[in-house]
Amino acid sequence: MHSIEQREKHLSKLHPSSLIVLCLGVIVAQVDTSVVNLAIQPIGKSLAASVTQLQWVVDAYNLVYAALLITGGLLADLYGRRLTFIIGCIIFTIASLGCALAPAIAILIGARAVTGCGSALLIPASLSLIRVLYPDEKVRERALGIWAGCNGMSLAIGPSLGGYLIHSFGWRAVFLVVVPIGVMAAIGALLWVPESAGRKGRSFDALGQILGVVSLGAITLAAIESSHLPLLWTILLASCGLVLLSFFVVVERRLDQRALVPVAVFSNTRFSGAMVGTAAMTFGMYGTLFLFPLTSLGLDRLDPTDVGLALLPMALSFVVISPFSGSLSENFGKQRTITLGLAGMGLGNMLLGIAFTENLLIAEEFGLLLTGIGMGLATGPLTAVAVSSVGSERAGTASALINVARMVGATIGVASLGSVFACFHEPQLGFITAMLCGGVTQLLGSVAAWRYLSWT
């Protein structure tokens, strides 16, 4: 009887209605991201699009999302986290409908860019609401583990769902499927999520906004286009982004606590460690998700359905482990849990690369399983460290920054590991080299986590 009462007490602390709504917001964004890659080929045939145009169907979303993340976090803190979440859901839903109805490739690319804007509002708002709704750190860690698990669930169901929808109803269905989820998330937020904001003398910081958006946009664009632009142009674009980022830091330092991003937050070693660990994690993870299907299909080792099945051990283990990452970090400490997770991902990527060259499918699957377990262990605690390292009034900004780290790591990972892969004439040699580079980066991330998260 006592255990039943305890379980009910823990459940009420988790505010299940609110948490479900916030998780729906993550699902709507992540499912869209994971299924759109499968729709690229039929979109090209239907809308007579070039390869470059098709790449921008994916990249327009990524570019706008990365550039506007910090703005989305500030808007959530200043004008209301629930309001920003709802507006993000509405923008995302309408833009997805626009994608489904697009009569031409240019309209589809534009609608994808608007979708990225919606994600930049709803994702930081969702995370910052968790920071505010769960003041108790232990309960917050459990909530973040469930929230992170929804990313894994989206990763798991996305390819299978996308393949079924495209086969049965055509490519437009992959955009229509998220519309009812977005509507449910917006209505649910109105009904069950309390409003909160944290102005505390802060302002919109227009100059910081402009410098932040343009610098992040330039750096992301350089990474996205690195394989298409001449090397000199890529260097110039990245250099411009870094120079503008330097100006951004100078402006923010002068504004101190009124800044869009107070520079002092990076002097917190826990926050900086979480940023580095997150970037290292997504660097290797998204490189794997990009190169494994590309190489497997290119060598005719697997067909598209088999590739989706081969990735399931990674996705499902992520889903299974993530909800328990909060209680695991509570018992063993965030430092140990994160370090173990990042190290597991690094070793999993290395094993995948070595097994791939020897055509050892069982070993490949074990490598992907190890990577998924590592993701499940590290994702929730890394996010918890970041959002817990600042006051609740900065929850939106902290949530945006940890997502910037995630996005920058992913974008640079795909670009860098893709370039490493392209340097070799033999795809198998290119794949193992890229996986070793990704694995080493994640192992270095685990070392950084052990060093900088020593008090967690």
Q: Which residues contact 10 (CB under 8 A, 6 or more apart)?
A: 139
| Comparison of pLDDT for 444 and 153, the residue scoring more | 444
| Comparison of pLDDT for 242 and 289, the residue scoring more | 242
Q: Cα-Cα-Cα-Cα dihedral of 365, 366, 369, 374, to 10°?
A: -140
Q: What is the mean pLDDT of residues 277-281?
A: 93
Give the CATH number of domain 15-200: 1.20.1250.20
DSSP for 273-305, please give it.
HHHHHHHHHHHHHHHHHHHHHHHHHHTTSS-HH
* Contact indicator for 404, 382 with CB cutoff of 8 Å: no
Give the CATH number of domain 267-456: 1.20.1250.20
The DSSP symbol for 311 reads T
Whether residue 191 is predicted with pLDDT greater than 90 in this model: the reply is yes
* Contact indicator for 189, 23 with CB cutoff of 8 Å: no
Give the Cβ contact number of residue 319 at 10 Å. Answer: 21
Owner of token pair 């190290």: 343
User: Can you tell me the distance from the alpha carbon of 26 to that of 57, in angstroms, rounded to the nearest whole number?
Assistant: 20
Owner of token pair 């340097």: 423
pLDDT of residue 446: 94
Whether residue 51 is predicted with pLDDT greater than 60 in this model: the reply is yes
Percentage of the chain lying above the pLDDT 70 cut: 93
| Comparison of pLDDT for 112 and 204, the residue scoring more | 112
pLDDT of residue 383: 87
Whether residue 6 is predicted with pLDDT greater than 70 in this model: the reply is no
pLDDT of residue 243: 94
* Contact indicator for 344, 162 with CB cutoff of 8 Å: no
User: Can you tell me the distance from the alpha carbon of 158 to that of 174, in angstroms, rounded to the nearest whole number?
Assistant: 9
User: Can you tell me the distance from the alpha carbon of 286 to that of 306, in angstroms, rounded to the nearest whole number?
Assistant: 19
pLDDT of residue 2: 43
